[in-house]
Chain A
Amino acid sequence: MANRRLITKAVLYLILILLAFMMVLPLIWMFLSSFKTGSEIFAQPPVWIPETFQWKNYLNAFNLAPFGIYLANSLITATAITVIQIMLSSMIAYGLTQLEFKGKAFLFQSMLLTYMLPAAVTYVPSYVILAKLGLLDSLTGIVVSNISSVFSIFLLRQSFLKVPKEIVEAARSEGANDWQILWKVMCPMSLSTIFTLAMITFVEMYNNYLWPSLIVKSQSKYLITVGLNQFFTTQGTFQNQWAMIMAVNVISVAPLLLLFFIFQKWFIKGVGDSGLKG
């Protein structure tokens, strides 16, 4: 019996390891390739470890295009969007869960309805609005056009609904107003949701390509995604530029990987206790 269980387990682990390996293989290949020469990348049979590590690929890449600026632009806009979006969504979610007003159900339903629309449908009107606001080709424009998200409102609303009524009432009778209840009770109690949401939003915004590429024109406003694509299309045709492209790729995924390693504990852990007895 014990033997069979062990075997099943071993097979299971083998499959999992294989799958995991398949997932990270391209990343490893990318990482190693960023240190290769162009001919090593295309060599047959494939070369895994470069003969000499070509650190200068990184320097060359930075010399060919302002990746530092792209990276900064991406980090700044993604952070700003994440922070503002979560703050605004929390306030809406609070209203939807804690306040009584006419048309609440209608408001929520119409929000959900807009979620069903494909994003591409909103591009043209959003573009026109941004143009009228004079926010085209600016980082502010990227931030402003992304600060509202039905998904985060929905997720936060679900999380706020789980906060027991008595806890809100206790805060209220201790003298807290709605603003204080939101920031001192609801948000801290929904920390795991907020955290997950922040990660999702950040990654999504950092990886966002299509919409930003439509509204930014000048190179100094490029996000890393836009810059990367630009670099690829202008340089990608020459074999010996591929190593640099790999180097740039490594730089652009580094922030996300870093974020993941710092916070992976948080992804797994949930905040369980609801504060009531039992």
Chain B
Amino acid sequence: MEKLVLTHLQKIYTQNKKTVIHDFNLSVRDGEFIVFVGPSGCGKSTLLRMIAGLEDITSGELFLNGKKANRLPAKDRNLSVVFQNYALFPHLSVFENIAFGLRIRHYPKQKVNEAVYNAAEMLGLQRLLHEKPKQLSGGQRQRVALGRAIVRQADLFLMDEPLSNLDAKLRTQMREEILNLHQKLETTTIYVTHDQVEAMTMATRIVVLKDGRIQQIGTPKQIYTAPANTFVATFIGMPQMNVFHAAGSDSARWDDFIPLSLKKSDSYTQGRVLLGIRPENILVAADGLPVTVNYAELMGADTYVHGEIAGTDKQIVIRCEPDRDFCSGETVYVRFPEDKCHFFDAESGKRLTIEAAAYEA
């Protein structure tokens, strides 16, 4: 069943008449874990707040459980929001913070106790129940905020960058905890982040946003292996995808490594094609395209080689096994396996599907 459907959603802030969300369409199935990802200021929070009922919808429609809910007050939407800065009630104990929504709904005492203790146990908060938020660490506060969200059988969890205030280690740990919770509770979740690792590891589907427009919706795998445009291609993936102008005029040698059918196409000869290849898909071989190494970074599990294509100023990053050493100024030869190459229209940046001929070195 569709839990949440958004059609042609648009948001214009009245204060500055700025259109922040353009024609947003999405339908979320029950139990999905949707991640909104995009750079700062692209409208992720605005979208989430519209879904939560904390911000007016300028135009378009929002359906919750199949019912139109554009004007449904936040308190009646039965969803819970986890805010970036936790937004715990400072005057209430951890117990009362978690119990807040249940008390508002006048649950019987025993049911409240039961639910709160369950949630606390799930999140390892049993021993902190009588503390005030002030006395907790960032990670603990975040857990309380999660506790407040899960204690009530909310229809939908909305989380706005819930981990961004935590240190790297805690973030990884909380990420796992949130995923475990999702597996246990199976509550439909919309999760906002600008961290691509969170997006890739947590999502059943990712929505990539830029300037208030959807760039692509897909599973992490789809987003990674078939990015819809150059923005998605370079936004997701670390280090980011190499993108080159694949015009024949660029360099004679470079030209040799472009798939044949692409070479024949008009767009190619007129320089209207971009070629993208992820650093880990580039093969270092005995011959091929020569690359001058600038420097190499040993990351532990692998090495990032930064260089430029010989005779050009095109920067390139290669990710390879850590056992080989590279020194600055050295020339290495690389190949781009054809099935790993992505092609984009140079003007629109949109993905091109090209039936390329078999690659021959």
Contact mask A170-203 → B, CB, 8 Å, 1/0? 1111111100100011001101000000000000
Query: CB distance A167 to B141 under 8 Å?
Result: no
| Interface segment out of the listed A84-92, A107-115, A269-277 | A269-277
Query: CB distance A167 to B75 under 8 Å?
Result: no
Query: CB distance B54 to A174 under 8 Å?
Result: no
Residues on the B chain within 8 Å of A170, using CB: 81, 83, 87-89, 148
Return B296 CB to nearest CB of chain A, in Å: 39
Query: CB distance B80 to A173 under 8 Å?
Result: yes
Query: CB distance B105 to A167 under 8 Å?
Result: no
Tally of A-B Cβ pairs under 8 angstroms:
90
CA distance in complex: A167, B86 (Å): 9
**Contacts beyond the supplied A175-B76, A276-B86: 15 A-B pairs with Cβ under 8 Å:** A166-B85, A167-B90, A169-B52, A171-B100, A172-B53, A172-B74, A172-B75, A174-B104, A175-B101, A175-B152, A176-B75, A176-B100, A188-B89, A271-B91, A277-B141
Residues on the B chain within 8 Å of A173, using CB: 52-54, 74-75, 77, 79-81, 158
Q: Is B337 an interface residue (CB 8 A)?
A: no
Contact mask B130-149 → A, CB, 8 Å, 1/0? 00111000100100000010
Q: Is A255 an interface residue (CB 8 A)?
A: no
CA distance in complex: A188, B73 (Å): 24
Residues of chain A at the chain B interface (Cβ within 8 Å): 164, 166-167, 169-177, 180, 184-185, 188-189, 191, 271, 273-278
Contact mask B116-142 → A, CB, 8 Å, 1/0? 000000000000000011100010010
Query: CB distance B86 to A169 under 8 Å?
Result: no
Q: Is B201 an interface residue (CB 8 A)?
A: no
A-B CB contact pairs (8 Å), 17 listed: A164-B87, A166-B83, A166-B85, A169-B83, A170-B81, A170-B88, A171-B89, A172-B54, A173-B74, A173-B77, A175-B78, A189-B90, A271-B90, A273-B134, A275-B86, A276-B87, A278-B85
CA distance in complex: A191, B92 (Å): 13
Residues on the B chain within 8 Å of A275, using CB: 86-91, 133
Query: CB distance B148 to A174 under 8 Å?
Result: yes
Residues on the B chain within 8 Å of A171, using CB: 89, 100
Residues on the B chain within 8 Å of A174, using CB: 75, 80, 100-101, 104, 148, 152
Q: Is B312 an interface residue (CB 8 A)?
A: no
Which chain B residue shows the least CB distance to A180?
Answer: B104
Return A109 CB to nearest CB of chain B, in Å: 21
Which chain B residue shows the least CB distance to A164?
Answer: B87
Query: CB distance A185 to B74 under 8 Å?
Result: no
- Between A167, A170, A172, the greatest number of chain B beta carbons within 10 A of the residue's beta carbon is seen for A170
Residues on the A chain within 8 Å of B158, using CB: 173
Which chain A residue shows the least CB distance to B141?
Answer: A277
Residues on the A chain within 8 Å of B249, using CB: none
CA distance in complex: A1, B339 (Å): 80
Residues on the B chain within 8 Å of A188, using CB: 89, 91-92
Q: Is B180 an interface residue (CB 8 A)?
A: no
8 Å CB contact of B104 from A175, A271, A273:
A175
Residues on the B chain within 8 Å of A274, using CB: 90
Q: Which 9 pairs from chain A and chain B are nearest by CB?
A: A275-B90, A166-B87, A174-B101, A170-B87, A188-B91, A273-B134, A273-B90, A276-B85, A173-B81
